Chains A and B, each alone.
Chain A
Amino acid sequence: MTQRITIDPITRLEGHGKIEIFLNEEGEVANTYFQIPELRGFERFCVGRPIEEMPLLTNRICGVCPEAHHMAAAKAADAVYHVDPPRTAKMLRELLYSAFYVTDHTTHFYALAGPDFVMGPDAPVAERNILGVIHKVGLEIGSKVIRARKYGHTVVEIIGGRKVHPCTSIPGGLTKGITEEQRLEILEMGKWAVEFAQFSLKLFSDIVLSNKAYVDLILGDIYTHRTYYIGTVDENNRVNFYDGKVSVVDPQGNRIGKYAPHEYTEWIAEHVEPWTYLKFPYLKKVGWKGFVDGKDSGVYCATPLSRLNAADGMATPRAQEEYERFYATLGGKPVHQRLATHWARLIELLYAAERWVELASDPEVAGPNFHTVPTEMPTEGVGIVEAPRGTLTHHYRTDERGIVTKANLIVGTTNNYAPISMSINKAARTLIKKGQQITEPILNMIEMAFRPYDPCFGCATHTLPGQMPLEVTIRNAQGEVVQVLKR
């Protein structure tokens, strides 16, 4: 008798998704399928549109991280026109992007992932949410979280013209600069953001790292996969979100290479399965070997944890200290335990805030030279940034008028589709035992397998945030309901 468990839709992830768990006759997990139900078709209808509209149209892939699509598309458009934006323009874009990272990582840690740690994975469902977190750690923290989001969005609006779906990046730079007064305002908000990031790391340390049960959960085997990792690094191999080459490390932590944006097709390919609308990227040089980890499988991961694993360190001083502490505490590089991603995300939060201050401290960011007029014939270009949820690649080919003739997008979450599927599979196999009642906390522990990836299937389906319903139905081979479990 085959049994089936359906988790539809899964909760606290950004977008639609469904998990199917099949049990064998012994009541053990036979297989799991993580399905993405949507496709909107950006790669089709971007064709025929002018390249300068890509930063505006592809924003609409994801309203949670439009800044990432805006930047990747703008960088691809620069490349299409073979134009190098002036220093002020690059600084402005990276400043916007750093402030966006503070907002985004804050939202994920406090609203989506935080509840599992702060409240505990087996806390009552009604308390396992952001309100529960605020209850436990205090209203004052809640107002800090709102402030962090607000400051980040304010910077996005000052530089990008709007809070959601920024509009100012064009081939060669931006449509506008900022004033000296705005620079100082942004700098002040950045200084507060650095304090907030340090506070968040201390909170994590007090609540999670000082609790042996949590540390054991992080270090345990359920949430561990030995895969390859990728992440963008600067010329000194330090993590960078806006620009650089993509570093690739193997499961032992050895760097097997770095690729520039235009070289991505030599490194990354995408596998197709007929039961989902999303593709499975893998390392082309290693090959697709199915949903398995290890050195012979091309499955890789692109997350905050991956970026730390793929780099040699952080480019700002406080984040570097935290980076060293991270690997010292978890037993060296690379760290394969997926739950450590939450900690890695907070280290990135601190880096983003420090970078925000660094960029806003340089008066040139408020300079008048924010655009270089493109003069070359447009051809083809690739733009890569690190979206919060993974390496984001935009690739366009155009005709001689700069009208898009081909578009290819590999977005943050898509990179992690195979590892997320594997994490769900492993957690289900570990946690569901034959003859044992499947309880709500067990289901949440299965969901915890994907939450570190902060999956955003709005993005992935060129197809959102939060807590969605959860229901598990167990059926026998005749389709009769054996057990129903609801949240």
Chain B
Amino acid sequence: MSEKPKFAMYWAASCGGCEIAVLNIDEKILDVDANFEVVFWPVAMDAKYKDLEAMEDGSILLTLFNGGIRNDENEYLAKLLRRKSKILVAFGSCACEGCVPGLANLSPAEEIITTAFHTVSTDNPNGVHPQPTYKAPEGELHIPRLLPVLKTLDQVVEVDYYMPGCPPESHQIAAVIDLVIQVLQGKAELPPKGTVIGAGISTVCDECPRKRNVKTIKSFTRIFGQPLDPELCLLEQGIPCNGIATRSGCGARCPSAGAQCIGCYGPAEGVLDYGARLITAYASVVDANEPDEIERILDGIPDLVGQFYRFNLAGSLLKAGQTAWKPNGGNGR
């Protein structure tokens, strides 16, 4: 019996939704088992960092890496898995572009700690904060150190493929697994390095079942503020829906359920900066010529940075807010 190719999956700073999405491919998971030897997947099996360290470089064929790089332990594991893997996939929004936790890059890392350890219910009169190294009476204790900003996987190591989504849809995961198995059987070829896999090449709007007319809007409005037409395009109804700049592949799930697209599949094919594209798209539908009127309409979007960079701040051209880069006047990084 020939040796099966090795498979690994790891989460860094993530929520576990990517792991659940993989489990949700149901019986397809048996194909993974039949075609691969799973060597490292903390969610599903016993294996440890030391086992991984002992493997030969390049001995794992395929690693799906989810989660952003938030601390020095995440960074270490990213570098280790890169070395051990032939194909490294940035799996899910966090690894691809930072996702919601990337919004932390709007403020210095110290503020994350200060905020969390001084909330209304926290009893902390002495201002105790977690210490990467702490001398307990019995010996020294260690916890990882936060990096100044959250990084995407490709800001730390070279990435072969990107699989977007928060989380990637299970039917897309199943399709990618089918493709890899076909490649193994010599029936298909891998796409060029750097390709976005498991997603479409157009926008969420192209998959959306809602009716579209010529879009012009006189004001933006909030999703809960009025009854909405269940069949008409949300953006036409003034809801700041992100479908227009967001990559297709999810099947337009949120707009189909009456909720605006929040952009979890990342920038559409060929878009360099998601926020810039979305700003352009919104600007083109604003039905006004006077600067004051334009300003009034755009004021209807209550949180500009969140609207334009909700899932992509860490992976965008901006990467972080100015204060995160320069928390103490310029020496923050």
Contact = CB atoms under 8 A, between A and B. Distances in A.
B332 interface: no
B144 A38 contact: yes
Interface string B213-232: 00000000011111110100
Contact of A469 (B47, B116, B121, B225): B47
A48 B170 contact: no
Nearest to A53: B306
A111 to B, nearest CB: 9
- Greatest chain A CB density within 10 A among B15, B26, B101, B227 is at B15
A80 B234 CA distance: 25
B290 interface: no
A462 B117 CA distance: 13
B37 interface: no
Interface stretch (A170-178, A230-238, A429-437): A170-178
A44 B115 contact: yes
Interface string B1-25: 0000000000101111111110110
A269 B120 CA distance: 9
Interface stretch (A58-66, A202-210, A323-331): A58-66
A471 B48 contact: yes
Contacts of A269: 121-123
Interface stretch (B79-87, B190-198, B256-264): B256-264
Interface string A1-12: 010100001010
A76 B43 CA distance: 32
A274 B133 CA distance: 9
A393 to B, nearest CB: 8
Nearest to B100: A60
Given A37-B143, A164-B21, A272 B70 contact: no
Contacts of A168: 257-259
Contacts of A43: 115-116, 119
Interface residues of A, number: 98
A164 B50 CA distance: 32
A425 B12 CA distance: 28
Contacts of A40: 13, 70, 101, 104, 112
Nearest to A403: B302
B128 interface: yes
Nearest to A408: B119
B227 A371 contact: yes
Contact of B115 (A33, A41, A469, A471): A41
Most buried by A among B26, B122, B228: B122
A289 interface: no
Contacts of B259: 56, 161, 167-168, 170, 175
A464 B115 contact: no
A391 to B, nearest CB: 13
B34 interface: no
A188 B200 CA distance: 35
A410 interface: yes
Contacts of A240: none
A470 interface: yes
A338 interface: no
Contact of A466 (B18, B42, B122): B42
A63 B11 CA distance: 12
A395 interface: yes
Contact of B116 (A39, A395, A401): A39
A9 B48 CA distance: 8
Nearest to B47: A469
Given A39-B112, A48-B306, A49-B303, A64 B141 contact: no
Given A33-B141, A39-B130, A44-B111, A176 B48 contact: no
5 contacts: A41-B116, A45-B101, A45-B107, A56-B262, A170-B223
Interface of A: 2, 4, 9, 11, 14-15, 20, 22, 30-31, 33, 35-45, 47-50, 52-53, 56-57, 59-64, 66, 81, 125, 129, 146, 149-150, 153, 160-165, 167-168, 170-172, 174-176, 264-265, 268-277, 279, 281, 284, 288, 371, 373-374, 395, 401-403, 406, 408, 410, 456, 458, 462-471, 486-487
The 5 closest A-B pairs by CB, nearest first: A63-B17, A161-B257, A469-B48, A175-B258, A41-B112
Interface of B: 11, 13-21, 23-24, 26-27, 42-51, 70-71, 73, 99-101, 103-104, 106-107, 111-113, 115-117, 119-124, 128-131, 134, 136-139, 141, 143-144, 146, 166-167, 170, 222-228, 230, 253-254, 256-259, 262, 264, 302-303, 305-306, 310
